[in-house]
Amino acid sequence: MVDTAGTRTESDSMGPVEVAADRYWGAQTQRSLGNFDIGRDTFVWGRTMIRALGILKKSAALANAELDQLPRDIADLVAQAAQEVVDGELDDHFPLVVFQTGSGTQSNMNSNEVIAGRANEIATGSRGGKDPVHPNDHVNRGQSSNDTFPTAMHIAVVLELAETMYPGVQQLRDTLAAKAEQYADVVMVGRTHLQDATPVTLGQVIGGWVAQIDFAVEDVRRADERARELAIGGTAVGTGLNAHPDFGRLCAQHISTESGHEFSQAGNLFASLSAHDALVAVSAAQRTLAGALMKIANDVRWYASGPRNGIGELAIPENEPGSSIMPGKVNPTQAEAMTMVATRVFGNDATVGFAGSQGNFQLNVYKPVMAHAVLESARLIGDACVSFDANCAVGLEPIHERIEANLASNLMLVTALNRHIGYDKAAAIAKKAHKEGTTLRESAVASGVDGADFDAWVVPMDMTHPSA
């Protein structure tokens, strides 16, 4: 009942509590708001997790109806309200933060209460309450927070990977692949140990970046496949108590239909509740991808360093002023943003790895923080790749004059002489050139190498592939 102060009384096993009249949630959500006010500005669940909860609850209602575990009219009301959750129409009614009960019970009950509250409004015109749709008896039929929340976690992660991370990474990867082909004939100084080395092509350098991305993404996809095995049907401890024997399997089929992604019930529900190794694997693969992206971003900013007193071999887009005090300064800001994202992903992975090790007996109670960390990493990687692509990668261009000048002065071109005069004589030529400040050719000729032979043997492009 709504009182004059604009609230209504809701109750749970702990007794009555006042809830704002315009909210769909009930007593358990309200209690969580007061008990877990931790990081509210930052750690409230986002759209993907809320959508996943809606998909799960709609699928559960449909499965229960098919199995005669719910009356069809009740299941239809639950499914209708849950679809509004999926569609984002009720996001304002999901106010809970990540740092709550480690099983995700409050967020599971938040979804149960909101869906029941909205279903009751559809049926009776009165918001909230438990009649005719009860949050536990109907919306949560055949379920426990211990199996529903990890199921929602996996749905959300698969969605975020598919819709945000993979497309963003693919966009950057395709741009770099095109650049690798475009600059296949640009020969430049290779560098190892931050020192000059034998030549490479810019296409080979960028192609190496592409290969790193491909490897890391394939690693994520393998872990992604494991995340498509769902805990649903395990209920409280993995035994399936109070759930129909076919509920988990059928619910997973409906989840596949509703989400557009293939899911299945996990083969071992005890492991699905007590450990979250699939998310640990996803997070670890995200870390590998972040490491590849950091390497790429760092290479770009080193190659672009200068513009006059650094390497200065790559031109990057000039997007904004780089300094509040130094006029005309332009910085590699997209590379810096990408590397900061990488460090955040590394931190998230540390959280996920540690949390994943903390299962005790039949339950891991670090579920919410694991889900949030993996979801955040997926979104950050995807967004950062789109930004880096649009504001940096598409505009990458070689500075030919600088590349050619650096290549011409590269003493490690002497390596081409090894097969003709031997390592020791070639080393002496390089050291002589460096000490005397002469060119490598001048030093070689002074050491007895015929100039025509030098020109035939030391061809930078020929040094970028195996010798015949």
> What span, in angstroms and rounded, lies between the C-alpha atoms of 419 and 254?
67
Q: Which structure tokens are listed for 255?
A: 């989840």
Tell me which of 13, 193, 465, 467 is the catalytic residue: 193
Contact 106, 29 (CB under 8 A): yes
Task: State the distance between the two ends of the chain, measured CA to CA, in whole angstroms.
Answer: 88
Contact 157, 228 (CB under 8 A): no
Q: Which structure tokens are listed for 403?
A: 């590349």
**Structure confidence at residue 5 (pLDDT):** 59
Tell me which of 11, 244, 256, 323 is the catalytic residue: 323
Sign of CA dihedral 178, 180, 185, 188: positive
> What span, in angstroms and rounded, lies between the C-alpha atoms of 197 and 193?
9
**Structure confidence at residue 1 (pLDDT):** 37
Task: Note the CATH number of domain 147-237+267-401.
Answer: 1.20.200.10
> Any known ligand binding at 144?
yes
> Any known ligand binding at 418?
no
Contacts of 357 (CB under 8 A, 6+ apart): none
Q: Do domains 147-237+267-401 and 411-463 have the same CATH topology?
A: no
pLDDT digits (tens, 9 = 90+) for 161-203: 999 999 999 999 999 999 999 999 999 999 999 999 999 999 9
> Any known ligand binding at 135?
yes
Low-confidence ranges of the chain (pLDDT < 70): 1-5
> Any known ligand binding at 146?
yes
Active site annotation includes 193 = yes
Q: Look at strands 264-265 and 229-230 and give their pairing.
A: parallel
> What span, in angstroms and rounded, lies between the C-alpha atoms of 266 and 251?
12
For helices 105-124 and 47-66, give the axis angle rounded to 10 degrees: 70
Alpha helices by DSSP H, 304-325:
none
Compute the C-alpha angle 34/40/46, nearest 5°: 115
Fold for domain 411-463?
Answer: Ribonucleotide Reductase Protein R1; domain 1 (1.10.40)
**Structure confidence at residue 4 (pLDDT):** 43
> What span, in angstroms and rounded, lies between the C-alpha atoms of 17 and 143?
25
Residue 254 CA, chain-centre distance (Å), reads 26
What is the three-class DSSP state of 306? coil
> Any known ligand binding at 134?
yes
> Any known ligand binding at 11?
no
Domain positions in the chain are 7-141, 147-237+267-401, 411-463
What is the three-class DSSP state of 18? strand
> What span, in angstroms and rounded, lies between the C-alpha atoms of 461 and 184?
10
> Any known ligand binding at 175?
no
Helix (H) or strand (E) holding 273: helix 269-274
pLDDT digits (tens, 9 = 90+) for 63-99: 999 999 999 999 999 999 999 999 999 999 999 999 9
Residue 382 — φ and ψ, nearest 5°? -60, -50
Task: Give the class (CATH, top level) of 7-141.
Answer: mainly alpha
Active site annotation includes 323 = yes
